[in-house]
Structure 1
Amino acid sequence: MHERAGTVALPEDLIDVDALVAAYYDLHPDVEDPEQKVIFGTSGHRGSSFNTAFNEDHIAAVTQAIVEYRAAQGITGPLFIGRDTHGLSKPAEDTALEVLNANGVTVWSDARDSWTPTPAVSHAILAYNRAGHPDQADGIVVTPSHNPPADGGFKYNPPHGGPADSDATGWIANRANELIAGGLADVKRVGRGEGVPSDRYDFREHYVADLVNVIDLDAIQKSGIHIGADPLGGASVEYWELIRDRYGLNMEVVNESVDPRWAFMTLDWDGKIRMDCSSPYAMASLVERRHDFDISTGNDADADRHGVVTPDAGIMNPNHYLAVAIQYLYSRREGWSPEAAIGKTLVSSSMIDRVASAIGRTLWEVPVGFKWFVPGLVDGSVGFGGEESAGASFLRFDGTVWTTDKDGILLALLASEILAVTGKTPSQLYAELTEEFGSPVYERIDAPASKAQKAVLAKLDGSAIAAETLAGDPIIAKLSHAPGNDAAVGGVKVVTERAWFAARPSGTEDVYKIYAESFVGPEHLAEVQAEAKKIVDAALGA
């Protein structure tokens, strides 16, 4: 824990935006260096121009690869493109437009030439593709999400509107690295600064106007509850202003500042500026003002994540809010199919399992990554899909798809709907859940592992776990494939009646992550964590 965690950034914490942008254009990656290659994680390619991980060459090559990929897939409709407020996002969008123009791709960008949240791009893709056009649209979002100000990010959403699957991202990354290694000779591109959109699309208007079909805004307006909405300097700032004005909400946009240095932010747990709306340190300013509002919420830079702050509890643990949201939605959305399942990731709280059982709904447990929820949200067989890292989306009132990417604006508005309709904050409702089901303790820690050990863990089979008990309880499941869709989890999950742990390799550091939860208490959780490390290390031969 950094000694200044939760305090406002100082001048020495801020980046030099001009130097950052200059590095984007001036530095050229060496793809023989693994740190400088194009690598698509669960949310696209990310990195900083300062360490030659996110530069003009990367974006030109990735965009050309996307052009080739969509052509091979027969995608001929418009490509929707949006960007967030990070300093590298506009230069990267400019580069992408230059490549897309040279390849003859029809590109629709924001009508206001402004910032576009990730869910608004997903919403636009889906709206186009269900409108009966003879072709299909896809999209690009230029964002590193909640990452620090020096980072850039670039992600591709195919016609289903959600995050691209690993088959697509793997092909795109490999092709991009080939193009860079070839000196970008096969990258088509108009002159620098000559990239322009083919057309404009009012992402904000279409998204905000459609919210009445997924959130009970009338109930929020009539209740008069006082709402604080903090965009954390991100792409949602102008969206919250329009939502407030369009629907007559008693809302204050807590901070309307946009600064690519994020000088107004409080430092996260490790002393870095990070727009993590689920972190009590990054959200310290809003938490401090929690008594000024009946409920307040935050979003990260591209608004695909949510944070909920209540006067009675401060910032809610994302797992706690997911459980409350699920119980509320499945009891109130009468237009949803009675067969619509509850989607959760393997490392989300088992409180969700208990809620699902109590309300008689199928639990659909999948590996980490929002992409797994996409098919179910598209066809309505999954009503709600949520991740432990404060990302979720759910269906419209009529049971049809809203977005297939995480929607932090939606989940923030839902918190206000819950208060307006029930008269209770989400944290008060969670306290009621703990009275019924118990009070779980959840934590994620890291353990050291070499690259070789991480590779073993990623492919480890549950049968390789020799232990029969965990923290004194019999083990009832050893999972290497998710129960919901039988997809490999890239690690293992071990379950007892009162606790569980999951171990997954980190994609960026020489550690593996241990997620663990106990319904007994903190001491039992510590026992689970300690035994988890021994169990995994034994399986890895450590």
Structure 2
Amino acid sequence: MDAISFGTSGWRATLDVFTAPRVRMVGQATADYLDDVGSGDESVAIGYDARETSRGFAEELARVVAANGHDVLLPARDCPTPMVAHAIVTRDLAGGLVVTASHNPPEYNGVKFFPGNGSPPLPDVTEAIEANLREPVAAPEAEWGTIREVDLVEPHLDAAMALLAPDLDGLTVVYDAMHGSGRDVTDRLLERAGADVICLHCERDPDFGGTPPEPSPDRLQALVEAVREEGADLGVANDGDADRIGVVTPERGFLDENLFFAAAYDHLLESDTGPAVRTVSTTFLIDRVAQAHGEEVIETAVGFKWVADAVREHDALMGGEESGGFTIRGHVPTKDGVLMALLAATAESERRIDDRVDALLAEHGNVHQDKVSVDCPDSEKSRVLAELEGAFPDAIADRSVVEINPTDGVKALLDDGSWLLIRPSGTEPKLRVYAEAGSERRVDELLAAGRNVVEPLV
């Protein structure tokens, strides 16, 4: 049990730790939790990604959950994580589980839980599941639930089409599935909307072509080259379980996720109203776009569970984080890389994203952002963060500190509009140091200053 811990996005571990007996314990703890909150015999969806071991682990979970009296819906093939969340809401299920390690290398696997609202669970839910961890038990066989295969893809694609009503005729999009669960899903959605789609890495490969399925700049160079060689209008990619997106444009190549957020939100505001929700590590450019439209921004701690919670509370038009996870009003409040691919293409079809970003930066000023890590044992994180708030000098890299924001870690706001954030990693024994400023040189200066503040405390 000590090896099982739900972090910011479920439990992940290497396969020497992520074993069938422990997975069955998670299944039992989930069934106990659903019973504790009054879910009775309501159905549960259990999805899985494209990894070699994922289907088998999903079947282990299904058997345990069914033996506790819940009917289980199991997709016939691996599918994107957001499709499980969508099924939970639209089918009024008790909850769901997804066997996935997201963008981690193939030697990892993991499991995510979604309660009945389809959002990532808040800490009180995951803490309750961890408290329930135990060896599986079974109800009398006559009370067992059924396990049946269902299609979770088509209902989700139908919902995305209805929400955005896209017309992508004449648009050429290169789609990189990174060998993950978005293959024959995101590309199918784009084609249904009228786009000409060129596919990269759209064959299932449990080893993801030898590289982690993360849509980061260094791993999307083939997509950048394909967009330019094919004369395409846009490139999009999904991570391993397709809940995140990476975007490539002809002029910029890889489009920083912060800039995509700003462009997508600005596009949505042309025909709708509503606030945006962003994490403390996401760009202030979102605030400037919102202000220009008479809207507000709600800031949350890092982690999409906090974004989703605020999206619901404030009826936000869009919510997102700088790591590429986004959702919009009218959809399930969980990050969805499939829907975001369609949104990116829809925005591009109405106005080139490169042109929109150029206009936003001309109006609101350039923004650059980066981050570095500082090694810090998990046992020391709380102490270091407690000392940090009083350790910040009055000026950082020659600019005055005008405010200290303790929403998640410690964020210093400077008098020129730049900022420096130091917060704990939720998955590694490290502290993250983030900075945003008007130039790359300035970001580098702030990151160096941040390291100088935190390293003596570790």
Tell me the TM-score normalised to structure 1 length: 0.79
Structure 1 residue 443, shift from structure 2 partner: 0.7
Q: Distance in 2 between matches of 1:158 and 1:238?
A: 27
Aligned residue in 1 for 2:297: 363
- Superposition map of 1:64-463 within 5 A: 64-76=28-40, 77-110=42-75, 113-129=76-92, 136-176=93-133, 179=134, 184=135, 186-188=136-138, 198-218=147-167, 220-221=168-169, 224-263=170-209, 273-277=211-215, 279-291=216-228, 292=230, 293-333=232-272, 338=273, 340-378=274-312, 381-395=315-329, 401-422=330-351, 424=352, 426-459=353-386, 462=389
Tell me the alpha carbon deviations over residues 493-523 of structure 1, each in whole angstroms, 9 at most, x when there is no partner: 111133111111224443211011112x233
Structure 1 residue 242, shift from structure 2 partner: 3.4
Relative to 1, partners in 2 of residues 1:331 and 1:460: Cα closer, same or farther, differing over 3 Å?
Answer: farther
2:103 match: secondary structure:
coil
1:206 match: secondary structure:
helix
- Superposition map of 1:513-532 within 5 A: 513-519=432-438, 521-532=439-450
2:277 match: secondary structure:
strand
Tell me the alpha carbon deviations over residues 264-294 of structure 1, each in whole angstroms, 9 at most, x when there is no partner: x5xxxxxxx21111x1222122112112111
Structure 1 residue 245, shift from structure 2 partner: 4.9
Tell me the alpha carbon deviations over residues 122-176 of structure 1, each in whole angstroms, 9 at most, x when there is no partner: 11112123xxxxxx52111111111111111101000110111111112212432
Conserved 8 A contact 2:412-2:419: yes
Q: Distance in 2 between matches of 1:461 and 1:71?
A: 42
Aligned residue in 2 for 1:498: 417
Tell me the alpha carbon deviations over residues 37-60 of structure 1, each in whole angstroms, 9 at most, x when there is no partner: 0011111111121xx221111110
Relative to 1, partners in 2 of residues 1:243 and 1:530: Cα closer, same or farther, differing over 3 Å?
Answer: closer
Conserved 8 A contact 2:71-2:146: yes
Letter in 2 for 1:284: Q
Q: Distance in 2 between matches of 1:510 and 1:145?
A: 19
2:219 match: secondary structure:
coil
Among 393, 396, 411, the alignment partner of 1:467 is 393
Relative to 1, partners in 2 of residues 1:70 and 1:363: Cα closer, same or farther, differing over 3 Å?
Answer: same
Conserved 8 A contact 1:305-1:406: yes
Structure 1 residue 303, shift from structure 2 partner: 0.6
Conserved 8 A contact 1:341-1:362: yes
Letter in 2 for 1:90: R
- Does the alignment pair 1:511 with 2:448? no
Structure 1 residue 238, shift from structure 2 partner: 2.1
Q: Distance in 2 between matches of 1:302 and 1:526?
A: 32
Aligned residue in 1 for 2:5: 39
1:475 match: secondary structure:
strand
Structure 1 residue 420, shift from structure 2 partner: 0.8
Letter in 2 for 1:207: H
Relative to 1, partners in 2 of residues 1:509 and 1:140: Cα closer, same or farther, differing over 3 Å?
Answer: closer
1:92 match: secondary structure:
helix
Structure 1 residue 408, shift from structure 2 partner: 0.5
Relative to 1, partners in 2 of residues 1:190 and 1:428: Cα closer, same or farther, differing over 3 Å?
Answer: farther
Letter in 1 for 2:192: R
Tell me the alpha carbon deviations over residues 271-326 of structure 1, each in whole angstroms, 9 at most, x when there is no partner: xx21111x122212211211211111100111100011111111111111111111
Tell me the TM-score normalised to structure 2 length: 0.93
1:504 match: secondary structure:
strand
Relative to 1, partners in 2 of residues 1:245 and 1:360: Cα closer, same or farther, differing over 3 Å?
Answer: closer
Conserved 8 A contact 1:81-1:141: yes
Q: Distance in 1 between matches of 2:190 and 2:425?
A: 40
Tell me the alpha carbon deviations over residues 62-102 of structure 1, each in whole angstroms, 9 at most, x when there is no partner: 11001111111112321111111012211210110110121
Conserved 8 A contact 2:420-2:450: yes
1:172 match: secondary structure:
helix
Relative to 1, partners in 2 of residues 1:324 and 1:347: Cα closer, same or farther, differing over 3 Å?
Answer: same
Conserved 8 A contact 2:31-2:68: yes
The count of aligned residue pairs is: 452
Structure 1 residue 354, shift from structure 2 partner: 1.6
Structure 1 residue 374, shift from structure 2 partner: 2.3
Structure 1 residue 212, shift from structure 2 partner: 2.2
1:258 match: secondary structure:
coil
Relative to 1, partners in 2 of residues 1:142 and 1:451: Cα closer, same or farther, differing over 3 Å?
Answer: closer
Aligned residue in 1 for 2:23: 59
Q: Name structure 2 gaps, 5 residues minimum.
A: none
Conserved 8 A contact 2:46-2:74: yes
Conserved 8 A contact 1:98-1:189: no
Conserved 8 A contact 2:278-2:299: yes
2:333 match: secondary structure:
coil
Aligned residue in 2 for 1:27: none
1:281 match: secondary structure:
helix
